[in-house]
Structure 1
Amino acid sequence: MAAEAELTPTSYIQHHLQNLTVQVGEGGFWTLHVDTFVTAVAMGLLMVFMFWLATRKATAGVPGKWQAFVEICLEFVDRQARDTYHGTSKLVTPIAITLFFWILLMNLLKMIPADFFATVLGWFGIGYWKPVPTADVNATLGMSISVFFLMIFFALRAKGLGHFTLEFLTAPFGKWMMPFNLILNTVEWLSKPISLAMRLFGNMFGGEIVFLLIWVLGGAGIAGMFAGAAFGFGWMIFHLLVIPLQAFIFMMLSIVYLSLSEDSH
């Protein structure tokens, strides 16, 4: 492929939005986004490693700086989970912690210029690498579908299969409106994971495009370079708020959905 400097603005943006894919199965039945998968797993392992560092020398006395920081973060998430979820499950706080910090780390990759990944990986002959997993709808749908199955698990655990099925067919209009209840509840349950995934994906993908447009502007002469630097700095500051906010929204909505799945209509 041509060097980055020889790309047109359109092909430059398309290049950085292209996933590294591998066809899996007979006849390419399944397309695996290698960059999304590898980066998401790497950020998950990094999260575990960072928490392990805090617990390795944990003390009940005066904590170290990293231990204190991790404890503050965990207490914040735990407090939000307890205030939002009104059930009895002890899984909610670990789920909230995993979702928030994993998504936060994946979102933070947006702060690293895309050309950095392209240049380094180009040395190894890798032409495409989309660095932000949450800018890939497959990743956000994967997480939201996991939340969806957790919703079903929480509902079945709290209500039992019989009560859950009866409620699904008879609420909110009663047993004589069963077809309408079925349609309404199906749409309600399916819309939750879809909206959860699309909200995170839309914000991260849109931010990715704006960053790339700013880098393109930076290549348009001296004036473009200064304009790109100014706009890039402003957009980066704005995204320092968007990145944790989107992780927080995904976490909070997941907890709300888990709590609602246990409530009876």
Structure 2
Amino acid sequence: MAGEALTPTTYIQHHLQNLTSPVGDGGGFWTIHVDTIVTAVLLGLLMVFAFWLATRKATSGVPGKWQAFVEICLEFVDRQAKDTYHGKSKLVTPIAITIFFWILLMNTVKMIPADFIAIPLGWVGIHYWKPVPTADVNATLGMSISVLFLMFFFALKSKGIVGFVKEFLTAPFGKWMMPFNLILNIVEWLSKPISLAMRLFGNMFGGEIVFLLIWVLGGAGFFGALAGGTFGLGWMLFHLLVIPLQAFIFMMLSIVYLSLSEDSH
């Protein structure tokens, strides 16, 4: 859309368009959202690098500022995971840490004005780039499906294949209601990752649209700029709460689901 005059509608649509790379001839389901994948991977690497910096010169004495900050964050997540999960798996805390800090970083990209990313990329010929991975339902569904696989892993490890299949077919109404048990359990297991994905996506995508609407308002003369600045500041301050809260909710619900998957019904 280089060189075209953008209306408010096309401006918003432009910033909500993913940079895609179709795999195969048809695209569609097999279309890869390049911006989502690249941004998510880079932020994941940034998270790992930041934690590595804290551990590289870790000391048992008086810690440095960055080490102290990382230790406080990790202790907070570790405490929440242990209070929520009632099993004995040592994987839960690393899973919780990965989920919380990775989603937190991806959500935080929302605080960067869209044009601060789009304009420099346009100079090198990239005209579409949706910067917030969690505002892409494909990313949130991918993370929630990973949680679903972890739920199956924890359930099978706790109950065994026979015990898991037996419970899946007989709970909660007994063996004579096997078809109804099967339908109910399939719905229950699938609803958990879907609700995880939709909650995070809905909050981040909705917030992205509001930010773009405020940005458009800011271009409508002096009073528009004044109103845009005021509303933008208020919405930004509100999102300083929403960004970590959504990461925390996704993490806590994931740990709850892992714990429930090990419980017998």
TM above 0.5: yes
Distance in 2, Cα, partners of 1:228 & 1:26: 43
Provide the secondary structure at the position in 2 that maps to 1:129: coil
Task: Name the amino acid aligned to 1:89.
Answer: S
Task: Name the amino acid aligned to 2:118.
Answer: A
Provide the secondary structure at the position in 1 that maps to 2:201: helix
What is the aligned partner in structure 2 of residue 100 from structure 1?
100
What is the aligned partner in structure 1 of residue 15 from structure 2?
16
Task: Name the amino acid aligned to 1:219.
Answer: G
Provide the secondary structure at the position in 1 that maps to 2:22: strand
Instruction: Say what the alpha-carbon RMSD is for the aligned residues.
Output: 0.9
Per the TM alignment, residue 3 of structure 1 is displaced from its structure 2 partner at its CA by 4.3
Per the TM alignment, residue 25 of structure 1 is displaced from its structure 2 partner at its CA by 2.0
What is the aligned partner in structure 2 of residue 199 from structure 1?
199
Residue 28, structure 1, aligned to residue 44, structure 2: no
Report which stretch shifted further, 8-17 or 19-28. Answer: 19-28
What is the aligned partner in structure 2 of residue 40 from structure 1?
40
Distance in 2, Cα, partners of 1:160 & 1:221: 66
Distance in 2, Cα, partners of 1:3 & 1:152: 51
Provide the secondary structure at the position in 1 that maps to 2:259: helix
Provide the secondary structure at the position in 2 that maps to 1:63: coil
Report which stretch shifted further, 22-31 or 141-150. Answer: 22-31
Residue 218, structure 1, aligned to residue 218, structure 2: yes
Matched residues, percent identical?
84
Per the TM alignment, residue 58 of structure 1 is displaced from its structure 2 partner at its CA by 0.3
Structure 1: gaps spanning 5 or more residues: none
Provide the secondary structure at the position in 1 that maps to 2:152: helix
Task: Name the amino acid aligned to 1:51.
Answer: F
Per the TM alignment, residue 26 of structure 1 is displaced from its structure 2 partner at its CA by 3.8
Where in structure 2 are the equivalents of 1:241-252 lying within 5 Å?
241-252=241-252
Task: List per-residue Cα deviations over 1:161-207 (Å, max 9, x = no partner).
Answer: 00100000110111111111111111000000000000000000000
Residue 77, structure 1, aligned to residue 77, structure 2: yes
Residue 127, structure 1, aligned to residue 127, structure 2: yes
Per the TM alignment, residue 2 of structure 1 is displaced from its structure 2 partner at its CA by 4.0
What is the aligned partner in structure 1 of residue 163 from structure 2?
163
Per the TM alignment, residue 91 of structure 1 is displaced from its structure 2 partner at its CA by 0.2
What is the aligned partner in structure 2 of residue 173 from structure 1?
173
Distance in 1, Cα, partners of 2:103 & 2:116: 21
Count of aligned pairs between the two proteins: 264
Provide the secondary structure at the position in 2 that maps to 1:32: strand
Contact 2:85 2:256 in 1 (8 A): yes
Per the TM alignment, residue 28 of structure 1 is displaced from its structure 2 partner at its CA by 3.1
Distance in 1, Cα, partners of 2:23 & 2:232: 38
Task: List per-residue Cα deviations over 1:9-67 (Å, max 9, x = no partner).
Answer: 00000000000001112443610000000000000000000000000110000000000
Task: List per-residue Cα deviations over 1:105-157 (Å, max 9, x = no partner).
Answer: 00000000000111110110000000000000000000000000000000000
Task: Name the amino acid aligned to 2:32.
Answer: L
What is the aligned partner in structure 1 of residue 6 from structure 2?
7
What is the aligned partner in structure 2 of residue 147 from structure 1?
147
Task: List per-residue Cα deviations over 1:72-121 (Å, max 9, x = no partner).
Answer: 00000000000000001100000000000000000000000000111110
What is the aligned partner in structure 2 of residue 260 from structure 1?
260
Where in structure 2 are the equivalents of 1:48-87 lying within 5 Å?
48-87=48-87
Distance in 1, Cα, partners of 2:120 & 2:26: 32
Q: Which ranges of 4 or more aligned residues in structure 1 deviate by more than 4 Å?
A: none
Structure 2: gaps spanning 5 or more residues: none
Provide the secondary structure at the position in 1 that maps to 2:59: coil
Provide the secondary structure at the position in 2 that maps to 1:255: helix
